[in-house]
């Protein structure tokens, strides 16, 4: 890619014109990693964190899906999309990090990378919000696109 796609010929911001693109099944997977300090990890039970605000992972899943559905409202030049599917999985890895994976898909003329990234990001922020009373030493380490398929070019990040 040799140019910014959200700049028009005059150099001003513009939504990408997808009118000539083919309608295909498009899928994107994004991941966020949240590092929890011991003060938070000690509240885990059966792989879940329970807080006075409720079940943390379940709340984060709902928040992430809701956010993915609103991506076009949150990011100015994103197309508003009606997702066919959005799912979020959350688990704790062997390094005691919370791993959030958001998968979004639809059949359309434009991809869903931003929806997957927003879903994973908001799920991570929700976990932070629900656990911050226990410690402010929570770190959202990374959010990245893991893969996308169905558009002009596919992408898969090596793990």
CATH of 24-151, one of 3.40.50.150, 2.130.10.10, 3.90.1150.10, 3.30.70.640: 3.30.70.640
Q: For residue 78, what are the CA distances in angstroms to 31, 49, 66, 71, 145?
A: 20, 33, 16, 7, 16
Q: CB-based contacts of 71: which residues, under 8 Å, 6+ apart?
A: 78, 81, 114, 115, 118
pLDDT in tens, the chain (159 residues): 557 677 777 777 778 878 888 899 999 999 999 999 988 888 876 666 767 677 899 999 999 999 999 999 999 999 999 999 999 999 989 898 999 999 999 999 998 999 999 999 999 999 999 999 889 999 999 999 999 999 888 999 987
Domains in the chain: boundaries? 24-151
pLDDT at 68: 98
Q: Which of 46, 129, 137, 154 is catalytic?
A: 129
Q: For residue 100, what are the CA distances in angstroms to 14, 22, 95, 115?
A: 31, 31, 14, 14
Count Cβ atoms below 10 Å from residue 150 Cβ, excluding itself. Answer: 18
Identify whether 46 is a catalytic site residue. no
């Amino acid at each position: 890619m040799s140019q910014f796609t959200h700049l028009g010929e005059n150099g001003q911001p513009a939504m990408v014109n997808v009118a000539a693109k083919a309608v295909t099944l498009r899928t994107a997977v994004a991941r966020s990693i949240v590092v929890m300090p011991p003060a938070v990890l000690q509240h885990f039970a059966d792989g879940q964190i329970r807080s006075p605000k409720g079940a943390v992972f379940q709340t984060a899943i709902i928040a992430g899906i809701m956010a993915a559905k609103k991506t076009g409202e949150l990011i100015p030049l994103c197309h508003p999309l009606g997702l066919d599917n959005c799912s979020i999985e959350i688990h704790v890895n062997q390094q005691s990090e919370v791993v959030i994976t958001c998968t979004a898909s639809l059949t359309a003329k434009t991809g869903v990378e931003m929806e997957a990234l927003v879903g994973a990001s908001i799920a991570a922020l929700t976990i932070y919000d629900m656990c911050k009373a226990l410690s402010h030493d929570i770190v959202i380490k990374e959010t990245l696109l893991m893969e996308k398929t169905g558009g002009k070019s596919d992408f898969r990040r090596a793990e």
